[in-house]
Structure 1
Amino acid sequence: MVMYPGSQALDVTGPVEVFDTANRLLGESGPGYRIDFVSPGAPLVRTCSGVVIGAAPLDAGQGPIDTLLVPGGWGLHEVLADRALVEWIAAAAARSRRVTSVCGGSFLLAEAGLLDGRRATTHWAYAADMARRYPDVIVDPEPIFVRDGRYVTSAGVSTGIDMSLALVESDHGSAFALQVAKFLVLFFKRHGGQSQFSAVLDAQLADHTPIRAAQEWILDNLDRPVTVPDIAEQANMSPRNFARVFRREVGVTPGQYVERMRILRACRLLESTELPIRQVARRCGFTTPETFFRAFARVLEVTPHQYRSRFHAVSPQQDPAAAAEPMEVGA
């Protein structure tokens, strides 16, 4: 983990807790994770919230690296001008199995030229500015995290936890990642009205290949009518057997899964667009606005209008690389 003065504490500690919890649950069955902090501000680095973390000098980070993680933070605008650090990140990435970032950390990866020609994401408030600053990067502001080859970038602040769970899933399987998530007490819906769907707990793809194929088909067809027989056909299974296996593998019925994924898409559209509610409902596959309102209120306990009024993304006027990093919506 590469730190610098003004790093966002949760960008660092969120992933650390995921990997440390994985180590504790693995015990001696391993292999686990050894977590090292390096920083040009060694030996003690003060985060933007005042939390101080011990770190070794950058020179200590030699040799092969499994996972390189770069956080965002209030000090990002100064760090982008630190050519020695940017060049170190570029060199370290060349000897890393995978390269990851949380929030504004993707700016540092882009500054190092590592994301040219790749899909990447960042905090929703910074995406447009990142696209302007780094036109060779394909910036996608919607996903919780984006994986492009060995590069994985996550959105704002707490999504580093979702990304880290996905990395644990890649290393140790979905069942173990779910165990880690449960131990960390991560839920389908956070309180406060905003839906923050965990990439592992609620949008996870099943290990069973036919069910995984069906889930992927659902996500690609949320804007049109979807029936259980339609989905079962993608898995090459009878509707009855498919429904039974799907519930066993995913934990909810096919109908519940479809509804949750539609609500997730609706949340993203309400947060990031000015589309009328009727168009949001239509794009998410709800046959009538009334059906959409009922489903939305049942899942989130607020109306779509209330949700938008609380969480619609208003783009900040300042340059994100030269300004304080805001708290992530719903964090």
Structure 2
Amino acid sequence: MRITILIVVALYSLPSIAADQRIGILVYDKVLTSDVTAPAEVFGVATRESWFSDYEVLLIGVEKDAAVVTTEEGIRLTVDNTIYDSPKLDALIVTSSYVMDSLFKNADLTTFLTEQAKTASWLASNCSGAFLYAHAGLLDGYTATTWAGGEPRLQREFPSINVIEDRNVVVDRNRISSNG
């Protein structure tokens, strides 16, 4: 929830808000429900306010033909776009899961993340979502965090990231990471 509030504040502070801005939330089978529903709720409510009404929240699927994903807790979510649709996003939130190895090996997902990093104003991650950005090389030279207790692993596997263990939210330039 903290990361969501930070992104709302950051996006609101942009000098100009053009119509048709999109906030993407990455979804896939076994994603943690709260990683999706918390930002979707906060941003969804905010889009009803005049100062944020130009924004749209999209659930971005990882599989080419997946119209629905099932969360770790068994909730079915409808996907708005997939990474193959190449949506233009102003912010991308990378969610987490207990098991992400198949996502790390997904070359199309890595390409999508890399392309979004070139144009999105903000990249955010929650918990193990930082590992997806790390595998794509998008946290090299940045300060970041991950799930509580996972920081030593992130530092060990990705020594070019300055991993912080004592903060719940880390903001470094246009990268926001959270441990929950």
**DSSP 3-state at the match of 1:34:** strand
Which residue number corresponds to residue 34 of structure 1? Answer: 56
The higher radius of gyration belongs to 1
- Partner AA of 1:37 in structure 2: L
Distance in 1 between residues matched to 2:75 and 2:54, nearest whole Å = 26
Aligned length in residues = 153
Q: Which runs of 4+ in 1 moved over 4 A?
A: none
When normalised by structure 1's length, the TM-score is 0.44
Unmatched 5+ stretches in structure 1: 157-331
Unmatched 5+ stretches in structure 2: 1-24
Instruction: Verify the 8 A CA contact 2:46 2:52 in the aligned structure 1.
Output: no
**DSSP 3-state at the match of 1:36:** strand
Which residue number corresponds to residue 75 of structure 1? Answer: 99
Match of 2:68 among 44, 54, 58: 44
1:59 aligns with 2:84: yes
Structure (1 or 2) with the greater helix fraction = 1
Residues 185-264 of structure 1: matches in 2 within 5 Å? none
- Partner AA of 1:18 in structure 2: V
Distance in 1 between residues matched to 2:149 and 2:52, nearest whole Å = 39
**DSSP 3-state at the match of 1:99:** strand
Q: Which digits, 9 at most, give the CA deviation of each residue in 1:280-318, with x for residues without a partner?
A: xxxxxxxxxxxxxxxxxxxxxxxxxxxxxxxxxxxxxxx
CA RMSD of aligned residues (A): 1.4
Residues 69-108 of structure 1: matches in 2 within 5 Å? 69-108=93-132
- Partner AA of 1:80 in structure 2: F
Q: Which digits, 9 at most, give the CA deviation of each residue in 1:123-165, with x for residues without a partner?
A: 1121111111111111102111110001111112xxxxxxxxx
**How far did 1:31 drift?**
3.6
C-alpha change, 1:61 and 1:75, in structure 2 (3 Å) is farther
Structure (1 or 2) with the greater strand fraction = 2
**DSSP 3-state at the match of 1:132:** helix
Q: Identity, % of aligned pairs?
A: 27
Distance in 1 between residues matched to 2:149 and 2:70, nearest whole Å = 24
Which residue number corresponds to residue 172 of structure 2? Answer: 148
